[in-house]
Amino acid sequence: MTTEKNKIEISGLDLYYGKFHALQSVSMPVQKNLITALIGPSGCGKSTLLRCLNRMNDLISGVKVTGKVLLDQSDIYSPTFEVTELRKRVGMVFQRPNPFPLSIYDNVVYGLKVAGMNNRKKMEEIAEKSLMGAWLWDNVKDKLHHSALELPLDQQQRLCVARLLAIEPEVILMDEPCSALDPIATMKIEELMLELKKNYTIVIVTHNMQQAARVSDFTGYMLLGKMIEFNVTKDIFTRPKEKLTEEYISGKYG
């Protein structure tokens, strides 16, 4: 784990929801062009940790964060770091597919419009490329101007991925991206993730341990707001160092 390859470095991160201490001194590296998975029982803070990485927790009132999150060595919680800029570099796919109630095309180019682009031809090119990147182009190329809400759930989720690819983020955060999908759709998203990691750094939260084992390179196991163990995925699942991790992996807990 050499430092220069770390896309993101979390160190001594504490987060409070009011008085509730939700993350307790969490430290973790995220390496470039690899998939890092966060696992743990419900309420352990894995989604909260993920949402610290693009500062989505800012939206919740009463949240206080201390500690450091470095993105390419610069602290995203420093007052000079522009949060809209951060979110363009660190994109997010949510638990439930959340395409906007706009056309498929308008969904894909949304981030571009937000960033101030108005070159129609360029936007069309990027839209096509992004939809291809999310393996959705063949499904939607004839109905780009239909409402995105007409698509089946798994295609909606891939549209949300395409929407991200359009603005070419450096990191993609995925918050249980398959929990609303059936096994076949889940498999497709997992394959897509493996393809995407060639160009992107991915952090995924999942409560599906098989999923973490299948797709991730590194895994962090969290419990009650603490990072219990962080290691190469294979080691976490075959020879965990911590007893707590072993109990969870073997199904004795949660």
Partner 1 sequence: MKSLSEKGVRRILMAVAFSAISALLLITLFIINEGVPFIFKYGVGNFLFSSDWHPQQMKFGIFPMITASLWVTFGAMLLGAPLGVAVALFLSEYVPRPIMRIIKPTIELLAAIPSVVYGFIGVIVLAPLIRNYLGGPGLSLLSGSIILGIMILPTVISISIDSILAVPQSYREGSLALGATTWQTINMVTVKASKSGIIASIILGLGRAIGETMAVIMVAGNSVNMPHSALDSVRTLTANIALEMSYATGLHRQALFATGVVLFVGIIILNSIASIALRKRMVKG
Count of other CB atoms within 10 angstroms of residue 77: 17
Verify binding: residue 163, partner 1, rule CB under 8 A.
yes
Query: Which tokens sit at 171?
Result: 């990191």
| Site stretch for partner 1 (CB under 8 A), options 113-121, 204-212, 214-222, 245-253 | 113-121
Minimum CB separation from partner 1 for residue 111, in Å?
A: 4
Q: Which of 58, 67, 85, 51 has its CA nearest to residue 9?
A: 67
Q: Give the type of residue at 43.
A: G
Verify binding: residue 100, partner 1, rule CB under 8 A.
yes
Cα 104 to the chain's mean position, in Å?
A: 22
Verify binding: residue 88, partner 1, rule CB under 8 A.
yes
**Distance from C-alpha of 152 to C-alpha of 181, rounded to nearest angstrom:** 10
Verify binding: residue 111, partner 1, rule CB under 8 A.
yes
Verify binding: residue 158, partner 1, rule CB under 8 A.
no
Alpha helices in 20-79 (DSSP H): 46-52
Minimum CB separation from partner 1 for residue 202, in Å?
A: 15
| Site stretch for partner 1 (CB under 8 A), options 6-14, 94-102, 179-187, 200-208 | 94-102
Q: Which is nearer to partner 1, 115 or 153 (CB)?
A: 115
| Site stretch for partner 1 (CB under 8 A), options 22-30, 53-61, 118-126, 209-217 | 53-61
Q: Which of 203, 205, 151, 199 has its CA nearest to residue 178?
A: 205
Minimum CB separation from partner 1 for residue 161, in Å?
A: 12
**Distance from C-alpha of 233 to C-alpha of 51, rounded to nearest angstrom:** 22
Verify binding: residue 177, partner 1, rule CB under 8 A.
no
Verify binding: residue 167, partner 1, rule CB under 8 A.
yes
* 218-223 and 226-232 strand pairing: antiparallel
Is-contact 134 166, C-beta < 8 A?
A: no
**Distance from C-alpha of 14 to C-alpha of 226, rounded to nearest angstrom:** 10
Out of 29, 40, 45, 91, name the contact with partner 1 by CB under 8 A: 91
**Distance from C-alpha of 99 to C-alpha of 30, rounded to nearest angstrom:** 27
Verify binding: residue 204, partner 1, rule CB under 8 A.
no
Verify binding: residue 249, partner 1, rule CB under 8 A.
no
Site for partner 1 in 65-84 (CB under 8 A): 84
What residues line the site for partner 1 (CB under 8 A)? 54, 56, 59, 61, 84-88, 91-92, 94, 96, 98-102, 110-111, 113-115, 160, 163-164, 167
